[in-house]
Structure 1
């Protein structure tokens, strides 16, 4: 252990992180001995109980089965009557009362603070020539990086690129076209080069669209929308 976190994580992840479940169980057992209102239980769960695994979850992706077991523990405590040891009826599904935590804050740091030490370290090791939103898992990826990629995939739903220079945006694969609801060009169109970048659509040496390239690459509807897109003058990556 180092700073309260496992220094080594092997294959038996539930055993390695079992101390988190034990700490949570001890907390809940202490609260069960007291008469606490439903509102009081809500405060304890939100501000105390969820803080027990949160510190570790900020660095590691805990096993899904273990997270489910801790959710069951919290669920049982919340619904249990303060005047009886018997289990009460669960009137609402737990998914409607809770939200999962993940390592998305690392992804946000990589995007907004690229010069920070942690951003430069991960970029040099895992995506030296790519943006974090384009990075993939490689052979021998660490447990922490796997968790970050999983969190990245969650926050990618609904994001889009904001155009600056178009150097790294693959226009046939990524969301960037602001005039469309899903921000993507027609995915059923037959593209000659699916790796073409936005910058390749410009007239060389400028940020003006090359009408002939845009017209020959995309469908008529997408081409019209692209040619009407105006570039921003400040470097923002996603919205």
Structure 2
């Protein structure tokens, strides 16, 4: 799940099987609660199961998060040479003949774009400023 985007149909089928395994059915009806409600956090009194599509996207986003500061890693050098030679990974396009891994990484990039922010400062770490 950390290298490829798993198709939604497969993830839905796996979630359905997990739900059936945990709760089963009686006369064609679910015994307890819906899978969605069981994926809610334990702090809300639920089971805290993971929604697989969100988990898949988070693992792929972690790949980008590891590439950004480590451009000298083997993975980063390979992807940079192939897909974003003259630009930043955040500005790279999918391209016409890109691999499934690259398309999966680009699919997850929106999470970083959504949560990224600029921090204005004097280029010192917080520990340097605070003493």
Q: State whether TM-score is above 0.5.
A: yes
8 Å Cα contact 1:104/1:148 also seen in 2: yes
The higher relative CO (CA closer than 8 Å, separation ≥ 6) is in 2
Q: Match of 2:17?
A: 73
Q: Match of 2:97?
A: 140
Q: Deviations over 1:145-177 (max 9, x none)?
A: 000001111332121234xxxxxxxxxxxxxxx
| Structure with the largest fraction of helix | 2
8 Å Cα contact 2:19/2:35 also seen in 1: no
Unaligned runs of 5+ in 2: 40-49, 126-131
Q: Match of 1:61?
A: 5
User: 1:91 is matched with which residue: 24, 33, 39?
Assistant: 33
Greater Cα offset, 85-94 or 96-105: 85-94
Alignment CA distance shift 1:115-1:234 (3 Å): farther
Partners of 1:155 and 1:80 in 2: how far apart?
37
Partners of 1:116 and 1:95 in 2: how far apart?
40
Residue 93 of structure 1 deviates from its aligned partner by 4.1
Q: Match of 1:159?
A: 116
RMSD after superposition: 2.6
Equivalent pairs, count: 110
8 Å Cα contact 2:61/2:112 also seen in 1: yes
User: 1:233 is matched with which residue: 113, 123, 128?
Assistant: 123
Question: Normalization by structure 1: what TM-score?
Answer: 0.41
Q: Match of 2:46?
A: none
Does 2:62 correspond to 1:105?
A: yes
Computing the radius of gyration from Cα coordinates, the structure with the larger value is 1
Alignment CA distance shift 1:124-1:158 (3 Å): same
User: 2:73 is matched with which residue: 116, 119, 127?
Assistant: 116
Dislocated runs of 4+, deviation >6 Å: none
Unaligned runs of 5+ in 1: 1-56, 163-229
